[in-house]
Amino acid sequence: MLHQRLAFACLAALAGFASAEGESDVHQLTQDTFGDFVKANDLVLAEFFAPWCGHCKALAPEYEEAATSLKEKDIKLAKVDCTEEADLCKEFGVEGYPTLKVFRGPENVSPYTGQRKAAAITSYMVKQSLPAVSLLTKETLEDFKTADNVVLVAYIAADDKASNETFTGIAEELRDTYLFGGVNDAEVAKAEGVEAPAIVLYKSFDEGKNIYKEKFDAEAIKAFAKTAATPLVGEVGPETYSGYMAAGIPLAYIFAETEEERTKLGSELRPIAEKFKGKINFATIDAKNFGAHAGNLNLKTDKFPSFAIQEIEKNQKFPFDQEAEITHDAIAKFVEDFSAGKIEPSIKSEPIPETQEGPVTVVVAKSYDDIVLDDTKDVLVEFYAPWCGHCKALAPKYEELASQYAGSEHKDKVVIAKVDATLNDVPDEIQGFPTIKLYPAGDKKSPVTYSGSRTVEDLIEFIAENGKYKASISPKEEMDEAAPAATEGSEEKKQEEKDEL
């Protein structure tokens, strides 16, 4: 959610590609050498970069460190300068920098989807080098347990075909996330304190391991892994933020400016995190570097330590009173009340307009449900930002659209509305500005996002096709030429916002 994105400063120094080629464990490739290199090596991670790219410069030392770590495992890291090798980069569909791809020979290519830190790159590529499930013995089990921060080992009898197939399927799906091992020896399972079929998640933090003994159901096992692999009190930062957002359960933030204070508060609140494990994630956050994010949770950005819970699915914020002291008992009661639904969410909202001026209906957070979720009307909503150039270009066309519907036979069935998503909390996922969505009458839970050209004619067609009332009108002559459906929020911009906003 763009208006919710974590305000992280980029921590990586803009170091150049520091080491000389002779000293580097990263292999510089060209059009002439690339093909032979990927043929000669079973597994290669290749970075396609441009020397002027800031993100590439930030990645460089991390990439070098990972290359050195992976050297002993015979996993090669390479780089291609796209300003020098434009044809090669075009061949592999490179559209932005840096682009990282995993090669298993020249024909088997997949995108790298991990984080851009040395440890994450190393972990990801080690997972790629192994089979989906590594068959383990008594001799190899101990080393495997510590091969990554989190590993899952299934203890299954060799003739238990159903359990083996279920676990292998999960491993294939999640191989980029976890290491998976399998043990068929009942004596080894007994020594680990389990009886087949069972799964043990070994981890380098908290209690060290968790055991799954229930029925081998794929969804249940994936849910177990996600919960067990999340630290009781983790840390929110550029590398972990997206994971917490993807978890889909509320996230409790502990803001503090010093490491000592974060450690102290994390320890004090740990029993609460343990009680709500799997229901609410807890994490500390460096308020000195990322304190601006407190404002996204409707907290003051100059008063720490502070605490807040974000209900991710509904995009709701529950800030703890910043005048009150953060103690175990105070936070325990706050979390209990939140869990019981006794706390109302904090809503950032502009005042409800006393009168609606102009043809476009102005929506604010406090009037959102009454207008957008009015089940009797098709409501087209533009989510905009005041600074957005595309939004400003759209404004006269959007007003013309609203005027035409207001003067038509459908004036009581179709609403053309807009909301400033920077000043109002809205429950919708906004990836760029402007975002336009239609909320059909009778089906408000299934809004349709508009992706066509921004012309009055095309917007009318969109409403007619997707609204309940199929409200088509004959558009008047357009005032300007068609505007393309661009948004201020390209993939590069989104990456910058995640890393640096």
Catalytic residues: 53, 56, 388, 391
Tell me the C-alpha distance between 434 and 416, whole Å. Answer: 14
Going by the DSSP 8-state scheme, the letter that residue 355 receives in this structure is S
Phi then psi dihedrals of residue 252, to 5 deg: -95, 120
Residue whose tokens read 């020594």 = 191
The separation between CA 413 and the C-alpha centre of its own chain, rounded to angstroms, equals: 37
Tokens of 60: 């460089």
Going by the DSSP 8-state scheme, the letter that residue 359 receives in this structure is S
Burial classification of residue 222, based on how many CB atoms lie within 10 Å of its CB (0-12 exposed, 13-18 middle, 19 or more buried): middle
Structural contact between residues 229 and 290, judged by C-beta atoms closer than 8 angstroms = no
For CA atoms 369, 293, 431, 125, give the dihedral sign.
negative
Burial classification of residue 176, based on how many CB atoms lie within 10 Å of its CB (0-12 exposed, 13-18 middle, 19 or more buried): middle
Tell me the C-alpha distance between 154 and 156, whole Å. Answer: 6
First to last CA, the chain: 13
The separation between CA 26 and the C-alpha centre of its own chain, rounded to angstroms, equals: 29
Let me know how many helices (H) and strands (E) the chain has, helices first.
17, 20
Residue whose tokens read 């590594």 = 134
Q: What is the DSSP string of 255-268?
A: EESSHHHHHHHHHH
Range list of H helices, 72-194: 86-91, 118-129, 138-145, 161-174, 186-191
Q: Would strands 414-420 and 361-363 be described as parallel, antiparallel, or unpaired? A: parallel
> What are 253's strand-pairing partners?
283, 308
Nearest of 317, 166, 178 to residue 243 by alpha carbon: 178
Q: Which amino acid is at 239?
A: E
Structural contact between residues 401 and 466, judged by C-beta atoms closer than 8 angstroms = no
Burial classification of residue 256, based on how many CB atoms lie within 10 Å of its CB (0-12 exposed, 13-18 middle, 19 or more buried): buried
Name the packing angle between helices 161-174 and 218-228 (round to 10°): 50
The separation between CA 61 and the C-alpha centre of its own chain, rounded to angstroms, equals: 24
User: 463: helix, coil or strand?
Assistant: helix
Phi then psi dihedrals of residue 213, to 5 deg: -120, 5
Q: What is the DSSP string of 68-101?
A: HHHHTTT-EEEEEETTT-HHHHHHTT--SSSEEE
